Homo-oligomer: A and B are copies of this chain.
Amino acid sequence: MIERCLGAQRSRKFHRALRQCKVTALCLVLTVVVLRGIIGAGEFGTPEKDFYEIRNRLYFPSRKRGGDPHRVLEERRTTSSSFATHDRNHNKNNYDEFNVKMFMEDNGEDDEKPDPNEPYSRGPKISNWDAQRAQWLNENPDFANFINKKPRVLLVTGSSPKACENPVGDHYLLKSIKNKIDYCRVHGLEIFYSTALLDAEMAGFWAKLPLIRNLLLGHPEVEFLWWMDSDAMFTDMTFEVPWERYKDYNLVMHGWNEMVYDQKNWIGLNTGSFLLRNCQWSLDILDAWAPMGPKGKVRDDAGKKLTKELKDRPAFEADDQSAMVYSLATERDKWGDKVYLESEYYLHVNWAILVDRYEEMIEKYRPGLGDHRWPLVTHFVGCKPCAKFGDNLAERCLRQMDRAFTFGDNQILRTYGFTHKSLASGRVKRVRNETRNPLEVKDKVRLLSPPYKAVKVIRNLVCFHNVVQISHRLMVKRW
CB distance from A357 to the nearest CB of B (A): 17
Q: Report the bound CA distance from A470 to B444 in whole Å.
A: 11
A285 at interface (Cβ–Cβ under 8 A)?
no
Q: Report the bound CA distance from A459 to B151 in whole Å.
A: 11
**CB-based contact B185/A474 at 8 Å:** no
Tell me which of B31, B409, B450 contacts A471 (CB under 8 A).
B450
**CB-based contact B214/A462 at 8 Å:** no
**CB-based contact A124/B435 at 8 Å:** yes
**CB-based contact A181/B191 at 8 Å:** yes
**CB-based contact A58/B51 at 8 Å:** yes
**CB-based contact B438/A467 at 8 Å:** no
* Mask of A158-196 contacts with B, CB within 8 angstroms, 1/0: 011111101110110111011001100100001111011
Question: Which 5 residue pairs spanning A and B have beta carbons closest together?
Answer: A27-B27, A161-B426, A167-B167, A123-B434, A142-B454
Q: Report the bound CA distance from A13 to B17 in whole Å.
A: 9
Contacts of A428 in B (CB 8 A): 196-198
Tell me which of B142, B174, B198, B435 contacts A418 (CB under 8 A).
B198
Contacts of A34 in B (CB 8 A): 31, 34-35, 37-38
Contacts of A66 in B (CB 8 A): none
Q: Report the bound CA distance from A221 to B182 in whole Å.
A: 17
Q: Which of A162, A240, A451: most chain B CB closer than 10 A? A: A451
Q: Report the bound CA distance from A243 to B468 in whole Å.
A: 11
Identical copies of this chain, number: 2
Contacts of A132 in B (CB 8 A): 437-439
**CB-based contact A196/B418 at 8 Å:** yes
A7 at interface (Cβ–Cβ under 8 A)?
no
Known: A27-B31, A170-B171. A475 touches B461 (CB 8 A): no
Contacts of A47 in B (CB 8 A): 58
Count of chain A residues near B, Cβ 8 A: 154
**CB-based contact B476/A368 at 8 Å:** yes
Residue ID in chain B nearest A58 by CB atoms = B390
CB distance from A56 to the nearest CB of B (A): 9
**CB-based contact A467/B449 at 8 Å:** no
**CB-based contact B195/A191 at 8 Å:** no
A455 at interface (Cβ–Cβ under 8 A)?
yes
Tell me which of B16, B43, B61, B240 contacts A57 (CB under 8 A).
B43
Contacts of A58 in B (CB 8 A): 42, 47, 51, 389-390
* Mask of A455-473 contacts with B, CB within 8 angstroms, 1/0: 1111111111101101110
CB distance from A437 to the nearest CB of B (A): 7
**CB-based contact B242/A468 at 8 Å:** yes
